[in-house]
Structure 1
Amino acid sequence: MNNSASLPQVDPELFRSKVRACLLGGALGDALGYAVEFDSLDGIRSRFGAGGLTDFQQLQSPAPVSDDTQMTLYTVDGFVEVLQWANDGVGADETACLWLAYLRWLKTQGEALPANAPDQPARWIDGQEVLHHRRAPGNACISGLMTGEMGTRARPVNADSKGCGTVMRSAPFGLLPYVASDTVYKFSADGAALTHGHPSALHSAAVFSALIHDLLPAGSTLAGAASAAVQRAGASGVPELAERLEAALALAAEDRAGSREPSAERMKQVLGEGWTAEEALAIGLYAALASADAGTPQEHFRRAITLAVNHDGDSDSTASVAGNIVGVLYGLPALPDEWVQAIDARETVEQMADALIGVTVGQQR
């Protein structure tokens, strides 16, 4: 990674806070949403009351994370390996390292690697039993890896799939410091192509990663990052992605300007249910924007996650995206401590965040 003065610079202390909050925030949204991932809005309200699921106190503790957090952490581990090699003066292909990381994740799901797939020695993350649970992993993620072939944009696997399995794992691409946004975009699209081939899956992941990257510097704003995301979506050549993000910004602006409360029914009508990549990104971004008038970072985080969880659709992926966004926006002050303590993978998420910090800006001394 080139540490040129012309590339984005970061404040190390703020960066550490934002990395931890982005990864933990995504895990919190994932865990709360996973409890109702396959429930309708009526079903959620039937289980938890008219207000829906709004707090971990409504669930048994510890609340489990799903494949969204698992694959996010394996994305982190792929980059940690690349940077460990780089810090030792050895070049490594980042997309190949990600592929090997995802193949190791595949084994945690109880799958035997196909005969034509490369294997490699286990790394620290592979020994974390809390990640060895099969929690409704995305079909395209499994089938793409089970080909034993490394998918690329030129040679796609699952060429027609645009499921949200690319978006939900892609926040770590945006957490690379000292890297230009267009490089982040390329890395993320290439990483998405390992399992999905549809342009919307690739570019939705890349726009999301670039949005996270835009929120890393001190003084960055959610409105500015969202506007840049819409511009990137418009330039992507994927009409449905641009349309969904434009609709997300417009709906959030209407909700903040009007006297009505955000509506799950209206969100579904305008943005969809979150099963596809562009819908998951749009709902997560909408939830962050529509709740941006909250009085404190923690209130913003709680409201965004609640919006992203309570709807017909893929609640864990949409809430994971919202949690990544609001987490990186504020850093650790956004996260309610009692929520952080409520998830089963807290320690593993924190340790993987620290591993990424360690190979980028280093731990505090």
Structure 2
Amino acid sequence: MAEDKKQRSVRRPPSARLTRRALVLVAAGAVLAAIATFVVAGFQGADGGGTDAGNSISTTGAVAGEAFGTSTAGDCLTWTELDASDLTKVDCEQTHLFEVVADIDLSVFPGTEWGPGSRFPSVLRFTELREEQCTPDAMDYLNGRFDPSGKFSVGLINPGEAGWAAGERTLRCGLQFSSTTGNLLPIKGKVADQDQSRAWEAGVCIGINNGVPADPVECTKPHAFEVVSVVDLSSQFPEGLPSIEDQDRYLEQTCTETVNQYLGDPDGLRNKTLTLFWDNLNFGSWLAGSRKVNCSVGKQVEGGGFASITGSAKGDILIDGQPPVPPPPVPEGRSLPAPLPGAVPLPGS
């Protein structure tokens, strides 16, 4: 019985558990950065259990400007300064960073915490407000179709210390697209009109920081993994959400086929000593309309995390600065083992 369980844990792909674990570590670092910079804080669920540095607290550096003071649900905002002091309102079809879902007037809240002369709240307090006030508003704004594991996260913009000192007590809750390290990425179009799947386009490389995934980078730069394809699960499972086991069975075959096409060589993955892995969709994502997942290739290191890869997997690569050494050829007449399109499951999986 124990032996059977062990074999199943080896054969069964981890469905990017390693990636999710990495995102948890990245998220922890983002919190520390948030406390130091007063720009980013908080988390968004990555798979219903994990986290990623997805939510942010942005602060305007000036007393409430026109864009901040007049924006309401459905407006889209953008800025270039770290403190959002140049915040402007733009058409949502243009590139922007924030789609407003609600404005919260703290001056009508009971108690003295928000009254005249009150101290400017800490990042952690604003994070609590975002969870208490903004997350429910985002769900209402999207009529319940918000993917908590998707590419969009809930954010909050406050008036900054100057605005607070001048008596401004209104916050803006909104939706944004955050990288794993908390940096905001551009959005085009309303969130309600988009697929919220956290899937990158084929050919995108995700950077690496101390062995964990970071922000998208050029594949010529060090990265954790490279996306080889996007798979729409609705084509195979039109009836509804498939179980994780059914997703894995389908994606093992599909991702193996797509990576062989992507690399142009059925032995390419093996010869480059890379690992194939993929994501899964959970019930919350499926309910929100997300249907897409990524097939990706990277290099797991012993103890967890990723090795640093330089160069696209389509060509010559370096792994931790060294060219990969292909394993010995399989002796003629000996069958290849079943593919292992994923890293070893985490302990306790």
TM-score, normalised with respect to structure 1: 0.24
Q: Name whichever structure is richer in strand by fraction.
A: 2
Structure with max Cα Rg: 2
Q: Name whichever structure is richer in helix by fraction.
A: 1
TM-score, normalised with respect to structure 2: 0.25
Greater RCO (CA < 8 Å, at least 6 residues apart): 1
